[in-house]
Structure 1
Amino acid sequence: MDKKVQANYELAKELYAAHGIHVDQVLEQLEKIKISMHCWQGDDVKGFLNRDQDLTGGISVTGNYPGAARTPEELRADLEKAFSLIPGKHKVNLHAIYADTDERVELDQLEPKHFERWVDWAKEQGLGLDFNPTCFSHEKSKDGFTLSHSNPEIRQFWIDHCKASRKIGAYFGEQLGQTCVTNVWVPDGYKDVPADRMAPRQRLKSALDEVFAEELNPAHNLDAVESKLFGLGSEAYVVGSHEFYMGYGIQNNKLICLDAGHFHPTEVISNKLSSLALFADGILLHVSRPMRWDSDHVVTMDDELIDIGRELVRGGLLDKTHIGLDFFDASINRVAAWVIGTRNTIKALLRAMLDPVEALKKAELEGDYTTRLALTEEFKSYPFGAVWDYYCASKGVPVREDWLAEVKSYEQEVLLKR
């Protein structure tokens, strides 16, 4: 290890130790946290089953940066490169359209065998896998409805797809020894104000009841449901609103997914965590960076990301929260996007763990808001970066921006030749 990195770390340890913060223990805790890195950043949400389909579901990916993955092999190679630049062992979040199979198969007929190559790869890499049914970019979703569709045949198709997805998730968990989170999100909604808001939600509730009817081993698979505020083509009404899924998740013991981009522009998910945690069995996060709308920009170290980290740490929520990423930017190097977003998410957690949490809580209980504010502000300039550098070096990944040279080299040697 570089002597400067080691020396800076030792000095940082002394500063934090003065406040009763044991940095070595913090890093041990940080190493246990797995971030679920989303595969769809690598190919602009195209997948491999229906690559000829236009992207639908209120989602849009902009940009034409060269080097997008075209095959499962290319996508896995890109993921490996990204993980080699990120400290710790984590998970990969797959959508159903990323099946790696030589046969033509419909979404409602997917089976674990269509993902065997992904499982073999995950075993080799020491990674976990999460899963999502893909209820968009399909002939049967072109009118904007899936699980709440008024046509019972189309609705049944999507029910069967979600059922199949849960079994694939359970297969992942059983094979890899890491619980798979299978997250259900549907884009259903109207572009203009509907005459009937109730009927689609009744159909969605009934469909979800059928999807989740089969009991699966929770050690292998945990179910999650995800809301959205609006999408392109569903600006006026989304069937699966936050209120709908919060009620459904609490009533049916499902994880409730909070996506940073799925709320009003002035709302933040960090402020929802402590309330939701009191009533929900568990929480799934889709950490993203909305800009103007649910635009899913690459995660940066902004105030909201820092606050998410603080809420998870200060509220003792790390054990019941599954942290995933969800962004897709085709205007920059896609591998770099993964690295930036994932490293920032881990850094935010580290920064929160290095706060004087007990001292802040004590001052607050005693009504000493002066101390609370003073400590909060002074710790903003404490050397958490020195601890981060040491953590990266100790895990054999590049320190600070040194990772960028590796991504640039990979771009020249691999991505630009595609």
Structure 2
Amino acid sequence: MSVLVLCLLIAALLLVRVPVAFAFFGPCFLYMMTSDQSVGLALRLVSNSTASFPLLAVPLFILLGSIANRAGIADRLFDFALALLGRVRGSLGYVSLGFSWMSGSAVADAAALGKVEIPAMLRAGYSRPFALGVVGSSSLIAPVMPPSIPAVIYAGLAGISTGALFAASVVPAFLMALGLCLVVFLWVRRMPDLPRTEFSWSRVATTGRRVIAPLGAPVIILGGILGGFVTPTEAAAVGALYMLLLGFALRTLHLRDLPGVLVEAALTTGSIMLIVASANLLGYVLARERVPQEISEWMLGLTSDATVFLLLVFALSMVLGTALDAIAVLTLTVPILLPIAAQYDVDPIALGVLMILSQMIGLLTPPVGTVIFVLQAITKAKMAEVFWGSLPFLVPLSLLCLGIIFWPDAILYLPQRLGL
């Protein structure tokens, strides 16, 4: 069974909407059986791929996000942000950009927050393409801003410090938000009739008191990791416990809510781990067929310039990100690209930030970006409205990727400064 047949089978299964994990599992098991490989070996590869201490942070971060959403933390932050920015034209657009860190998943943010924010913007007189574009683009910050699930996966695959990758991702995440804010500013200038609310210090004080405790979670997580006090896995556990106790203390979370929270976190974790396991099996098959070596020789024969290599990585990651989950793309491509990057003297941390950001752009890239279809499904909007609403926001994100490609050392300053 050739690699070409294997890839065609996987592509066919993906086209008929078979879940990514099973689209990988089926052809790979068929390959193992037809090439005299032990099915027991395949099962060991699948089980060993998820038996990793760094990956233990994934379910804990997912649990933290589930607890925060169920406890209504986003509502408190939303009210405070509106109190601060109510007088600013396009305030709802700016506020939407501030809620991308809640779940760590672009698709989850687009689905959950889109149901709330898009109707609110439409009622306030914003155009539908604008509302769709803001929510879709803001959701892309979630997997880049720490704590980032794709960053945890990449760090485990690449054998690098998760804390260092988190530190390197902070500045790009803020630059993403700044670039998207610029697009919002330019767009709302053409909408002079947008409603505004009077600024009130009493309202700011009231809503501000309600967000002091929730803002302790990112301080504990990022401060603990970047300060070297805890590992990312330990920080995730402490953060989840803090959010759980906070929900009980604020009386926005009750014991009867816990089964639903745990089931939601377990389902999300299960889907991610299935993808990791199936992609690891596919990686074994590709390695056995010397695909990584062939790609490496092709790239090295094509160019000796690290910048050209990074441009190819950007294009490949973006294209794959339009069709596949980020976890699947990372698990498939990191073992192939990392050794090649070493030959170009590309730092693995810079490579990781570029790959994750490129895949996020792919999620919002017409015509097949996953986030685009999520927005269309939850709003019943025309696909053309989602396309045209998303395109302006892709400009600053693409420019940021180009900045990382031409100046990769710039994002390494913070982790080097922190000694990570």
Q: TM-score if structure 2 supplies the norm length?
A: 0.31
Q: Whose strand fraction is larger, Structure 1's or Structure 2's?
A: 1
TM-score scaled to structure 1, two decimals?
0.31
